[in-house]
Amino acid sequence: MRPETREVTNDGIGMMESGACHGFLVIDKPRGMTSRAVVDQLQSAFSLPTRLGHTGTLDPLETGVLVIGVGAATRLAEYVQRIEKMYHTRLRLGARSDTDDGEGTIEPVPLDEPPTEQAVHRALHTFVGEIEQVPPDYSAAKVTGRRAYDLARRGQDFALQPRTVHIRSLDLLAYHYPWLDIQVRCGKGTYIRSLARDLGERLGCGALVETLRRTQVGPFDQALAHPLATASLEMSKHLIPLALAVADLPRINLQEPDVIHIRQGQRIRLPASFDPACLPPQAQELAAFDADNRLVAVVGFDCEQKMLFAQKVLPNSVLTSYT
């Protein structure tokens, strides 16, 4: 069954009328497909234009959790992108690759003796926390405005700059040389292929990604994921509420007059019942809900002036109640 939708263009970001679908769809991405190809296949399930977009690219090699925004959910993609992710990966030690995975040109690394499990544990520990990481040459990272993989495929010389990423945990699941299975919990922008490459250099034996599966993006985990073939048949039945994208933000409840003002882009006074002192020190935004428990906006706040202001407002057409 194809949901009936009609797109309107008063803000250029895919606002829909009340008959449209809004929410997130979690796909179990198969190996060999790009994230864009997944979106294109899902798009064909709609008889009329509906805005879709993925919330973070997975390489064709990768499988697992790919979160797709449908309708107004595309407005919240940035919040999904910055949520912590979890991966299961199998690394092949004793080899290097120009793509840092098994799909590139592989060069064996001569080795007198493989690393011990204790040495692997010690090396993994050195990558936990904030680290500097250089993206793979075959990646979407940009060099003077151009994608690194485009330059690499053309044989051009370039150097990617290191970037700071955060790895919360690295757990060794199994080790039988040359295979090393690990679980990685990390923040936005972390490249597992770069982690494999750098771990291999730390161990002195080289390493590359053999398989890679994303098992979780914050509250979106593989238990919520649907195979692409079945998800595209009755997409509206699998949609997840928009509020899950901002589950890590502190919550604030607004009464109807304040909801109207926020929707109009006006600043409002902090509700008397809300205590800013209860917020986490790093909090900069709040998820604002109306009296019917519907997510209406992401708002910023000024503690000194005790004011709220809109950061991201959802369209009036989003009528589903979110719990």
Q: What is the DSSP string of 207-260?
A: EEEEEEEEEEETTEEGGG-EEHHHHTTSGGGG-B-GGGGGTTS-EEE--HHHHH
Which element (helix H / strand E) includes 135?
A: none
Q: What is the DSSP string of 52-108?
A: EEESS---TT-EEEEEEEEGGGGGGHHHHHTS-EEEEEEEEESEEETTSBTTS-EEE
Instruction: Give CATH superfamily name and number for 23-82+219-243.
Output: Pseudouridine synthase (3.30.2350.10)
| CA–CA gap between residue 56 and residue 38 (Å, rounded) | 12
Label residue 47 by pLDDT band (50, 70, 90).
low
- Could you tell me how far CA 140 lies from the centroid of its own chain? 15
Active site residue 59: yes
DSSP-assigned letter for residue 306: T
Query: Any idea where the domains of the chain sit in the sequence?
Result: 23-82+219-243, 85-217, 249-313
pLDDT at 32 over 50: yes
Which element (helix H / strand E) includes 143?
A: strand 142-143
Percent of the chain past pLDDT 70, that is, above it, reads 90
Summary count for the chain: helices (H), strands (E): 7, 19
Segment of 167-181, 256-270, 304-318 carrying the highest mean pLDDT: 167-181
Burial 228-265 (b: 16+ CB within 10 A, else e): beebbeebbebbbbbbbbbeebbebebeeebbebbbee
Residue with tokens 């004793």: 94
| CA–CA gap between residue 27 and residue 107 (Å, rounded) | 34
- Using the Cα atoms of residue 264, residue 266, residue 272 and residue 276 in order, give the sign of their dihedral: positive
pLDDT digits (tens, 9 = 90+) for 165-187: 999 999 999 999 999 999 999 99
Give yes or no on whether 23-82+219-243 and 85-217 have one common fold. yes
Third-level CATH fold of 249-313: 2.30.130
The average pLDDT across 290-294 equals: 92
Q: What are the φ and ψ backbone dihedral angles of 8, each rounded to 5 degrees? A: -115, 160
Domain 85-217 -> CATH class: alpha beta
pLDDT digits (tens, 9 = 90+) for 198-248: 999 999 999 999 999 999 999 999 999 999 988 767 777 788 999 999 999
| CA–CA gap between residue 104 and residue 138 (Å, rounded) | 9
285-289 and 295-302 beta bridge pairing: antiparallel
Segment of 21-30, 40-49, 118-127 carrying the highest mean pLDDT: 118-127
Q: Residues 57, 224, 77, CA angle at the centre, nearest 5°?
A: 40
- Greater confidence, 25 or 322? 25
Confidence (pLDDT) at 279: 79
Label residue 54 by pLDDT band (50, 70, 90).
very high
| Peptide bond just before 280 cis, omega within 30 deg | no
- Of 28, 40, 59, 150, the catalytic one is 59
291 burial (CB, 10 Å; 0-12 / 13-18 / 19+) is exposed
pTM of the entire structure?
0.86
Confidence (pLDDT) at 142: 79
